[in-house]
Amino acid sequence: MTSSSAEPLFSTPRYAATATPTPASQRLLVAQDASRAGGLLDQPGPMRLLTLHGELAAAEQQECLPSTEALFLRLQMLLEQAPAGTRLQVLGDEAFLWHVCRLARHAGLLADEIELFKLGERRRLYCVHCSEMQDIGSETECSCRHCGVKLFVREHFSQRLGAYMGVCLDPDRPYEQAQAGERQA
């Protein structure tokens, strides 16, 4: 069993670099920042843009929502009413992408009807010791904000959770750092 360290794990997400020119009855474009979405508007078919920040003059139908919660609720409503053949394109950091992807899959969209475009470094980490999530950057080690265990960020990515797996950096003494912090406090 050989594996090249340069080759990512099968579970590591692969993101689109450019939009796939696929016919669609309707396109939903969901972006954390509208200014980064301009290149995706030049596709055939009706397009609706949902965004958290900014607007695009080229977008015919667009809504700038005040919070991620409001955007997720609006998207959920649109997906429940979406006709067959709807395509979803999502731009944002990994935490945002996979939350939107879960909403879309729950609403019945297939994986090949969803395109993900990653922007930024923020990603989700799942601590396998306390089952809590936290946002991290590109670091490979960190401490769990919930249980204090020093974690190694594995390359394994769970699409169900939308997160990378954080496992104990030192399995022989998993809570040593957390307990040392409690003694000092």
User: Any idea which residue has 């969209």 for tokens?
Assistant: 109
Distance CA 42, CA 9 (A): 33
Residue 35 DSSP code: G
Q: For 77-111, what is each residue's pLDDT tens digit? A: 999 999 999 999 999 999 999 999 999 999 999 99
Q: For 47-84, what is each residue's pLDDT tens digit? A: 888 999 888 777 778 899 999 999 999 999 999 999 99
The type of residue at 70 is A
Domains detected in the chain: 26-118 (3.40.50.80), 123-184 (no CATH)
Distance CA 109, CA 124 (A): 23
Distance CA 139, CA 104 (A): 29
